[in-house]
Amino acid sequence: MTHHVPPHQPKTPGANALLAGKAKRLLIANVWRTAAEGGAFATHDPASGALLAYLAEGTASDADIAVAAARDALVDPAWRDMKPSARGRLLWKIADLIEAHADELAELETLDQGKSWATSRMAEIPASAEQFRYYAGFANKILGQTIPTSIGYHPPGKKLFAYTTREPVGVVAAITPWNSPLLMAAMKLAPALCAGCTVVLKPAEETSLTALRLGELLVEAGLPAGVVNIVTGFGSTVGAHLAAHPDVDKVAFTGSTEVGRMIVGAAQGNLKKLTLELGGKSPAIVMPDADLQLALPGVARGIFANSGQVCVAGSRAYVHSSIHDAFVEKLALEAGKLRLGHGLDPETDLGPLVSSAQAARVASYVDEGKSSGAVIAAGGERLGIDSAFFAPTVVTAVHPEMRMMREEIFGPVIAVTPFDEPEEALVLANDTKFGLAASVWTQDLSAAHRLAAGVRAGTVWINCHSYFSPELPKGGHRESGWGYENGPQGLENYLETKAVCAVI
């Protein structure tokens, strides 16, 4: 089977302008510069393999200059003394600009990452704008407390007055992955800017285009110089250097658990604050009374959306044995219905994976499972040698010890396992080192909430999967991460508390 997809010419003037001509540059102190060592690397459309652009290959020296710019901006009165309401208006303006340029941002995202136009244009680009809107409203509501203390040893006749203030944590290195590039950047930039931090953003090397366009929009919005700097380049150079940098106060990272561990190691020099949103192996538990009109498309969407390249993808389904076989059959039909193609083709349901290397990685999990007895009910293969397309795949007869059941695949592959008792479903669901998310499918209210309480995960959905909103805190339990994004919790991670205690 092969899947030939022709190159796509961008339609929007904005995307054309970004992709036309010269190599892209780094954004440092609101100036677009070439990389210090002059290097560049290519970025491709994973669907057609076409070259999209050359990006500046930042190195440690660029990261140093960017961190210095961010450090200066932290105490620049234009940023430090900006009134909270003005900071809120600035965030709101960034959201407006993202919305005004949503078509071109969606086009760039789809070209660079592969995801369908609908996912980019209807879901992720608007969600990126919503991140800025949500935190715009917080900018003038960051409050300290006055605190009555019980200290008894103050001088006679004097009183104590104690209070807390909130301060930005400082210079933040935001290191983002390739699965939802603009949204992952927005989820870090919006709370960081709300808190008054400054940022060096290192987007994933596979998908940096929307971050660069966002950089132009941030300058247009009027963000003071150095508040957000963007250094494109590789994780092992720029990313690792930022994670170890003595002048970086915090790393906000989304990506693999493996790289998360490296960041923990690198950050210990100056004991950086860390938020880590890492891998997952999220279960979907389908009870015998589940409403299959909801559960079937819901479980299918939970794994196949964005071709499974979603940290919370429901890659392990546990389905009650009374409905297991019928469920597998119908899920396989759902998988088979999905039309694969270029993300910008209106007929396409699923685009390619981010690269053919990622498709090869997914294939290795499936092939290894097959050779240990797993049965393929749908899909199971790449659409051609070197292709970045991987067919939506349903697997049964899996064993909990298979690598495909223990590691994050990050592809459109779901393994379905039967269970008999809810307690057994919970044991199976929790048999993982991860704890990012889960879904529970049942019409029984008590069962739903009991299962939600029993699953070890940062998010549990009941009769839905992958529902996100900036209001909902999102984070990983166990080896799925440290800290939370979104909600008031997401802002906390960018703030320090200072306790001031005075004898008056």
Which chain residues interact with ligand ADP by CB under 6 A?
175-178, 202, 204-205, 234-236, 239-240, 243, 255-256, 259, 262-263
Q: What is the DSSP string of 239-307?
A: IHHHHH-TT--EEEEES-HHHHHHHHHHTTTTT-EEEEE----EEEEE-TT--HHHHHHHHHHHHHGGG
* Shorter beta-carbon distance to ligand ADP: residue 201 or 376: 201
Cβ at position 144, least distance to ligand ADP in Å: 34
112, 213 contact by CB (below 8 A)? no
* Shorter beta-carbon distance to ligand ADP: residue 18 or 185: 185
Q: What is the DSSP string of 391-430?
A: --EEEES--TTSHHHHS---SSEEEEEEESSHHHHHHHHT
Catalytic residue among 107, 124, 205, 277: 277
Residue nearest to ligand ADP (CB): 235
d(CA 307, CA 390): 8
Cβ at position 323, least distance to ligand ADP in Å: 33
* Shorter beta-carbon distance to ligand ADP: residue 202 or 330: 202
Pairing status of strand 375-378 against strand 393-396: antiparallel
Mark whether 311 is an active-site residue: yes
Radius of gyration of the chain, Cα coordinates, nearest whole angstrom: 24
Catalytic residue among 311, 334, 408, 479: 311
Cα separation of the two ends of the chain: 80
* Shorter beta-carbon distance to ligand ADP: residue 61 or 236: 236
Cβ at position 160, least distance to ligand ADP in Å: 45
Cβ at position 152, least distance to ligand ADP in Å: 49
d(CA 438, CA 384): 33
State the alpha helices, DSSP H only, in 313-464.
324-337, 356-371, 403-406, 422-429, 445-454
Cβ at position 132, least distance to ligand ADP in Å: 21
* Shorter beta-carbon distance to ligand ADP: residue 178 or 365: 178
Mark whether 194 is an active-site residue: no
366, 404 contact by CB (below 8 A)? yes
Cβ at position 257, least distance to ligand ADP in Å: 8
Length of the chain: 504
Buried b (16+ CB within 10 A) or exposed e, 372-406: eebebbbbbbbbeeebbbbbbbbbbebeeebebbe
DSSP 48: T
Look up tokens 């839905």; give the residue: 464
Cβ at position 434, least distance to ligand ADP in Å: 13
* Shorter beta-carbon distance to ligand ADP: residue 19 or 262: 262
CA–CA distance from 316 to each of 260, 266, 279, 306, 394 (Å)?
A: 23, 32, 14, 17, 10
Q: Which two tokens stand for residue 447?
A: 């069962």
d(CA 331, CA 327): 6
Q: What three-state secondary structure class fits 355? A: coil
Cβ at position 480, least distance to ligand ADP in Å: 13
* Shorter beta-carbon distance to ligand ADP: residue 154 or 406: 406
* Shorter beta-carbon distance to ligand ADP: residue 177 or 298: 177
411, 361 contact by CB (below 8 A)? yes
Catalytic residues: 277, 311
